[in-house]
Amino acid sequence: MNWMQFVWAFVIGGAICVVGQLLIDIVRLTPAHTMSTLVVAGAIVDGLGLYEPFIKFAGAGATVPITSFGNSLVHGALAELKTSGPIGIITGIFEVTSAGISAAIIFSFLAALVCKPQG
């Protein structure tokens, strides 16, 4: 087992959160804008082909923060582009992320059946 992987996951994952906190506190973005900015940043990094090596290096430190969602969107679209042509850009966007999105919808529904929404 490579123990340094844990260290890097911790440091890199934390560093991404620090960037988010700085966007809120210094750039004064709203929480929603901060989240969107990180998603777009992840998408751009993957578009440049750099997110995969980043995940190999930092592991969960790169896959758990929201930037990885942007990576997954672009990654799915590019993979499908290769196999199905240009239409794949449309069909592939949610290829990788569909599990996460579907889970969010289904578990939200199940939670709403037994819990009282607070808002």
What would the x/- binding string for other proteins be over residues 11 to 30, using CB under 8 A? -------------xx--x--
Q: Is 119 in the site for other proteins (CB under 8 A)?
A: yes
Give whole-number Cα distances, 9 to 12, 15, 87, 119, in Å. Answer: 5, 10, 35, 35
Q: Is residue 20 helix, strand or coil?
A: helix
> Could you tell me the smallest distance in angstroms from the CB atom of residue 69 to other proteins?
18
Residue nearer to other proteins on the CB measure, 14 or 31: 31
118 near other proteins (CB under 8 A): yes
Widest CA span in the chain: 46
Residue 90: strand, helix, or coil: helix
Q: Which of positions 43-102 make contact with other proteins (CB under 8 A)?
A: none
| List of residues contacting other proteins (CB under 8 A) | 24-25, 28, 31, 117-119
